[in-house]
Amino acid sequence: MNRSTLVGHIFKKKSVLCVGLDTDLSKIPTHLLEDEDPAFAFNKAIIDATKDFTVAYKINTAFYEAQGLKGWVTMEKTLNYIPKDIFTIADAKRGDIGNTSEQYARTFFQTYPYDSVTVAPYMGADSVKPFLQFDGKWTIVLGLTSNAGSADFQLQQCGDELLYQKVLRTVASWGTPENIMFVIGATRKEQLQEVRQLLPEHFFLVPGVGAQGGDVHTVCSNAFNKDGGVLINISRGILFAGNDTSFAEKAHVEARKYQQEMAVFF
């Protein structure tokens, strides 16, 4: 999906909501465990309940890979079920030497035709650039995360800037705002402002809203640009809003609530 198409969907729905499909079998309603494919039954119901309010779905591949071959099948079925006008993200956090990254890119852009994949930039340009060779596909690079361990490396001084600032500035030069996004945590108001000044045109995938303490107003008021420019990911707050037979209806309510909070910024 190219940028203009994504932006068009954002403004049509007045939403920057990304629903994270971090489907944990130990947390889904117990009645679904009787299904032949419980995770897919859950995902299907969540997608049906939230698709009117979301512009992206993020499939966290770890929750599927952990189930072995069956999990990969569930992931593929889920990806195929997502409406074609909704942006898809493989949250796989890949990144390795060039020829390995080429295979990872083929995996998530061809074998499983996602619109985007998350990538770790620690190994440098040759680990990221293979992902940038696919037209209409996006590489979402880890920039500034909201976990406690981010201080171990990201917030360390690197010359006259912090390491995450160097990563953002350097990686941005390898592609364009048409094919690179960055993961930027939602819990730091001042850093959201600073990162937006550093990268005025790029899209940010923003985790940390809801369970991790971030909020929609802080993200939108500090990181929006003329195209919206953010995808705010909500996982647990929507997926597990209910744990009985009404789980999908409760997910619908939560997704609508988030979309209405976002709509005031359009």
Q: How far is it, in rounded angstroms, from Cα 180 to Cα 211?
A: 26
The torsion angles phi and psi of 231, rounded to 5 degrees, stand at: -125, 110
44 given a catalytic annotation? no
Torsion 186-188-190-194 (CA) sign: negative
- Please give the single-letter amino acid code of residue 224: F
Name the active-site residue from 93, 189, 250, 257. 93
Tell me the HSE value of 88 on the side-chain side, using a 13 A CA sphere.
Answer: 21
- The Cα-based distances of 131 to 17, 37, 155, 165, 171 in angstroms read 24, 31, 26, 21, 12
Secondary structure of 221-261 in HEC code, one letter for each residue: HHHCECCECEEEEECHHHHCCCCCCCHHHHHHHHHHHHHHH
Amino acid letter for position 227: D
Residues taking part in catalysis: 93
